[in-house]
Amino acid sequence: MDPNNNKNYQIAYSDPAVSFLTENKNSITMDVLQKNCPDSAAIKIFQELNPTLIVPLLQKNHLSGILFLGERFYFDAETGIDYTEYEKNLVLSIGSLAAIAINNATLIERSSTDMMTQLKLKYFFFNVLTEKLDNAMSEKKPLSVIMFDIDFFKHFNDTYGHECGDYVLKQVAFLIKQNLREEDLASRYGGEEFTVLLNETTKDAAIAVAERIRSCIENHDFVFNNQHMHVTISCGVAVFDHESNPVTIAKQLVNQADQGLYMSKHNGRNRVTYAPPSLVSLDDEESK
């Protein structure tokens, strides 16, 4: 079995094969699936994978995935049987454990993700930032935080309705994430505010990222119900440095970025401002 990493093997949940695997609740061969689901569009996909056994991953009668077993190393030539009933049941039990693991991972993902923007939630952002900040301190490497706020966001809700406001939030979130590396982390901090964590990123690089995102949003054509809207964001950048800004608490770094954001708002909006460490007293923050 040699899957093509560039190919989408997604199967429609309405496909007959999905219903059969869900109701049958057993490990089956390709022949059995073809016999019972002759009209299934998924058959062609399964055939490309050439499985010797197909195992449904079931969690509370819900099919969360399908496990395909490739060519097995041992084959009983006398009986012509690839898998005994015991082996099929054993694989099915392993599949049940895998289904539970997938379900638990899905629940964790949902609980840490903002459903509207599909970005991480504030608490998840702080958990990751705390961990990355500890690593940055021990390894003496830079770490940057950017805070964004949509300018005059209330105007979109008041003028075009809350559905328009939701559209703007989703589009801004998409554009932010589109301009980040895979290892970066973006979150919806609250309301129309967003935060970004840039691991091992210096001041100049972080400012460049923030400026790229700001410019991208400013030049993006936001269209809602045939209305073209001009959207801008204000940004604040803060950078951990073991010599010039040795913050020890994640909230300190976010507060510095927030102060930079405030300066951007105060100086006309639609701009990026680096927040010098002196903007927030480390002693004051630690005493809160």
Whether 171 and 229 have beta carbons less than 8 Å apart is answered as no
Residue 237 dihedral angles phi and psi, to the nearest 5°: -120, 130
In this structure, what token pair is assigned to residue 30? 């390709």
Q: Which residue's structure tokens are 């030539």?
A: 77
Domains of the chain and CATH, by start: 16-111 (no CATH), 120-286 (3.30.70.270)
Q: Which residues pair with 67 in a beta bridge?
A: 55
109 noted as active-site residue: no
The pTM score is 0.68
Whether 171 and 222 have beta carbons less than 8 Å apart is answered as yes
The Cα 39–Cα 30 span in angstroms is: 14
What lies within 8 Å, CB to CB, of 157 at 6+ separation is 164, 165
Q: Measured in whole angstroms, how far is the alpha carbon of residue 101 from the centre of its chain?
A: 18
185-190 and 272-274 beta bridge pairing: unpaired
- 109, 163, 183, 192: the catalytic one is 192
State the CB neighbour count (10 A cutoff) for residue 142: 19
Question: Which residue from 261, 141, 93, 243 is spatially nearest to 189, judged by alpha carbons?
Answer: 261
The Cα 189–Cα 165 span in angstroms is: 16
Q: Would you state the pLDDT for residue 5? A: 63
**pLDDT tens over the chain, length 288 residues:** 556 666 666 788 888 888 888 888 888 888 888 899 988 888 888 888 888 888 888 877 778 788 888 766 555 555 445 677 777 777 778 877 877 777 776 667 777 899 999 999 999 999 999 999 999 999 999 999 999 999 999 999 999 999 999 999 999 999 999 999 999 999 999 999 999 999 999 999 999 999 999 999 999 999 999 999 999 999 999 999 999 999 999 999 999 999 999 999 999 999 999 998 876 554 444 433
The Cα 72–Cα 82 span in angstroms is: 8
In this structure, what token pair is assigned to residue 51? 């499985």
**Amino acid found at 275:** A
State the CB neighbour count (10 A cutoff) for residue 104: 11
Q: Would you state the pLDDT for residue 184? A: 97
Question: Which residue from 74, 53, 144, 62 is spatially nearest to 100, judged by alpha carbons?
Answer: 62
